Structure 1
Amino acid sequence: MDMRRIVAVLAEEAGQQLHDQVWELTSSDRALALTTGTSLRDVVGPPDVQEALPQITRLEHLREALAVLAVSLARTHGRLAWFMSGALNALEPVLRWRAMPADHGGTFGTVLADPEQYTEAEDAVRLLQDTLTRITTP
């Protein structure tokens, strides 16, 4: 399953839990979700902007998105933490990507990602942005 699909499943589950009132966000959950969504939007921009960037910059932005999620995860618990943990898990392949060729020696298990993989990861981050914004709206 690709990153977009995993995040879509997470978003669907979050929506269902909120609809069924299984998950009731506290005011601090809403604030953190809103801040996280905004921070993700600041890091990974619209497709036309991202695709015009060099791959190394795109990778930096994706890694920063992972950092935003990790810091937010550290600041919460319960269902919001579970949602963010699932999102981090979905985006985990980004951690093994590199944007530079290995001239000599090993690469510590990293791989060169192709442009389609960058687009997939960026789309997944945008879906997270949208989901976090949506769940903060009462």
Structure 2
Amino acid sequence: MDMRRAVAVLAEEAEQLIQDHVWEVAPGERALALDTAAGLREVVGPADVQGALPQIKRLEHLRETLAVLAISLARTHGRLAWFLSGALNTLEPVLHWRALPADRGGAFGTVLPSSEQYTEAEDAVRRLQDVLARVSRVG
């Protein structure tokens, strides 16, 4: 399953849990979701902006999204934490990417991603931004 689809599945589950009143989003969760969405938006911008960047900057931005998600995960529990954990797991392949050639020696298991893979990951982050913004407005 690609990253976009995996985030779509997370989003569908979150929206269903909220709609069914299984997940009663607390005020603290709403605030954290809003902060997380803003942090993600700050790191990964619109597709045309990201696409114009050199791959090394795109990878840097994607790694920063992992940091934003990890910090938010550390600040919460319950369903929001589970959602953020799922988002981190979905974006985990980014940890195996590199933007520089491995001229001599090993590359510690890293790979050079394609331009399409960068786009897929960035699209997934934008979807996460949208879902977290919606979670922040529940209640």
TM-score normalised per structure 2: 0.98
Shift of 1:27: 0.6
* Partner-residue secondary structure (3-state), 1:76: coil
Number of the residue aligned with 1:113: 113
Corresponding residue number in structure 2 for 1:14: 14
1:16-65: CA deviation from partner (whole Å, max 9, x where unpaired): 00000000111110000000000000000000000000000000000000
For residue 58 of structure 2, what is the aligned residue in structure 1? 58
Tell me what 2:125 maps to: 125
Tell me, in whole angstroms, the C-alpha distance in 2 between the residues paired with 1:38 and 1:80: 16
Map 1:57-136; keep pairs closer than 5 Å.
57-136=57-136
RMSD: 0.4
Q: For the residues of structure 2 that align with 1:59 and 1:128, how far apart are their CA atoms?
A: 17
Q: Which residue of 1 aligns with 2:28?
A: 28
Seq. identity, %: 73
Deviations 1:66-122 (A, max 9, x none): 000000000000000000000000000000000000110000000000100000000
- 2:54 partner amino acid: P
Unaligned runs of 5+ in 2: none
Shift of 1:137: 1.1
CA distance in 2, matches of 1:82, 1:63: 20
Runs of 4+ more than 4 Å apart: none
Aligned length: 138
Offset at 1:133? 0.3
